[in-house]
Amino acid sequence: QVQLVESGGGLVQAGGSLRLSCAASVRTFSNYVMGWFRQAPGKEREFVTAISGNGGLTYANSARGRFTISRDNAKNTVYLQMLSLKPEDTAVYYCAAALTPIVTRRPADFGSWGQGTQVTVSS
């Protein structure tokens, strides 16, 4: 089990930016695909983006072009840079870890989840 702690959420105006961080407590961080999911009020949790240990990437259509995922394997940390934020990006953002070398977006592949961090975008 990987312990994941997200940070960096907050309130921002539409058009603004935020950077989320997720610190992982695990010895072999580079063996994990790291992903970001989000859940808006009244909606199901949805995939945002993921990155494999060697840098393979996948993005949801809603994130492509505005969000960038990156990781620092030396710091056991994954980041989500969010630009041009919209009110519809308002959600709790969750970091997740999947023990696989191949980038994935399937929630069932992610065995560890953080507590989430709230992102609120005002119009």
Token digits of residue 68: 């960038």
Q: How far is residue 72's CA from residue 111's CA, in Å, rounded to a whole number? A: 20
Tell me which amino acid residue 62 is: S
- Which pLDDT value is given to residue 111? 96
Q: Tell me if residue 107 falls in helix, strand or coil.
A: helix
Query: Is residue 69 over pLDDT 90?
Result: yes
The predicted model gives 63-91 an average pLDDT of 97
The predicted model gives 24-52 an average pLDDT of 97
What's the pLDDT band for 1 if we cut at 50, 70, 90?
confident
